[in-house]
Structure 1
Amino acid sequence: MARGELMKKLLASFGREDEFRAVAEQIIGEEEKKNNRVLADSLRKSLDAPLAGRKPKRHSALAPLLPFPDAAGDFVERIEPEKSKSDIVLSAPNVRVLLGLQKEYRKSDEIRRHGLPVRSKLLFCGPPGNGKTLAAEVFAAELGLVLYIVKLDRLISSYLGETASNLRKVFDMARTQPCVIFFDEFDALARSRSDEGEHNELRRVVNSLLVFIDRLQPKGFLIAATNHDKALDPAVWRRFDEVIWFEKPELPMVRRYLIMKFKNVKTEFNPADWSRKLEGFSYAEIERVCLQSIKSMVIESRSKVRERDFNRALTDEVRRRSKNQALQS
């Protein structure tokens, strides 16, 4: 947006703290894109400092700017990533995109010095149980970043204006230190505003969310995940630098996953031979089959997993799966 238009918006929003701050952040972002780091840092310090040495005016619908991590501590859970790339099976396109993002992050300062943007806002889409959360954890681990999972049950408030206020705390945190902020079930926040069943307060939350994503330039990554991509507001999509799809695994990926799950377990059969019978299953469903068959070995004090253990676990999963599908139809 042209500087003149931003200045008009800034003056017009004076007195309305949330709008004023959002426009000011846009101006700072423009200066950072132009590599005017000194000016951008100076503007940010002025924005975060109390005005004219007096206590800033508080409003019930606005979040006070508190130091990290206190401001968002009630709404996020800190996770020290334990999984690595050897614990996940991804499609070739997803591997390529995620590796590219890691390389960009490691060269982010050099990229910005050339006046180029760094991709840092990711949207993970796909049916449940296919690795979105695990991929976020592995991605954070590979970059040596702490993972913060947003607790939607605490973030979403029944009080007017508080959800947007809580959101701002989380986004301020994302701007403060290098980390990965992970929003699971993102459609609960970013549901389409055209849905007639939604009330005005949720529409206001979506409006605030779009502004926060727009002005965010995280030092790490913002990752949002959804199982219901069709429920997202259309304006959400262009706010993300990358959209990554997590589909149910194809046959070669099922085979690799089975080999991975039994790599440290002795078996009397070749688990990979069962790949075709598990085609069409999600990773979560396949994992349950594997773990249940291994537990059978432990319960019976044996040293190897038998083929019948696997077959019984698969039979149980098929039964569970058919019941779930019947309930959803």
Structure 2
Amino acid sequence: MPLKFINTTRSPFFATVRQRVDAYFKEKDLSTHANGAMWTKALFFLGGYLTLYGLLLSNQFGPWAMLALCVGLGAFAAFIGFNISHDALHGAFSSKGWINRLLGDTFYLLGANPYVWKITHNVVHHTYTNIPGHDEDIEIAPGLIRVDTDEPLRPWQRFQHYYAFPLYGLASLSWVFRKDYLKFFKAQIGQYDNSVHPRQQYIMLFASKAAYYFFFLVLPYWLLDITLGQLAIGFVVMHVVEGLIIGLVFQLAHVVEGTAFPVPTEGVGIQEAWAVHQLRTTANFAPRSAIAAFFCGGLNRQIEHHLFPKICHIHYPALTAIIRQTAQDFDLPYLENPSFFSALRSHYRLLKLLGRPSTTLAA
């Protein structure tokens, strides 16, 4: 049945916070899109990625140096996803659609498909955040990791707080070889009818995957003095680094202590406004860290992102004070962990708790 957000309390929270945010940009005479600092970040991460890839193909380094370059390339791929692709695919990087589309295509550098991402993330995750059975972003590894208390508890899930982290490292490999295909051909994603796609997207799915396999598997084997085993190790290490960084950053925003996993009333409605739902299901981490802000592309401030996904993340630090104060004015939660490691510990504790019987959670 259709899932709707029913603002039973008639909360004016979102109207108020949007008015205050709009007033901030008007008073400061600022665009909500990228500024010079944002373009500098984009050039830094793109330049770093291309430099590392070029050094890998130069055949001028020994095995250990090559492995280190693979680690760096995996990290830069994740940072491109956070800092460039993510904003562009939300239409937040530029006021010009063609620039957003061009920069959104940097997602192919991760081995991922931007069209599929826009469906699963922009449409489904941002609408039905943390709702079991609707938000597939919290279905981390079905059958292995349990985040839904209504899901049957399996014996091995009592150890999920240990094995979840290595599994995150496999997320990027799954994306490259499995996830995009499965999501593309899945008839229904949450409430989204996914049964029909433009013909062009069928071509792009297979052509872009083939190009990625060529540039990261075939071409290196042709150009470098390496064995198939060394190629496989380098490729896997690159994606384990990429997957671990991406997996941790996204999980620390939604699967930590204090975030809610609401169950629709009678399978139909969520009894609160959509914006209030975002506050209850999302948490920030390291909000005062310039390092986290630079590398995570604003995803350490997920509250700001979920409420205003079309505003470039370079502006999130200024929005934080506005949104936190407005939440306080309406007696609403504003969840945050002071550092990356405190969020990591919170995620660990929640996974441990969710690996126990539901009666333990109720206590």
TM-score (norm 1): 0.23
- Greater length-normalized contact order (CA 8 Å, ≥ 6 residues apart): 2
Q: Which structure has the highest strand share of the two?
A: 1
Structure (1 or 2) with the greater helix fraction? 2
TM-score, normalised to structure 2, is 0.22
Larger radius of gyration: 1
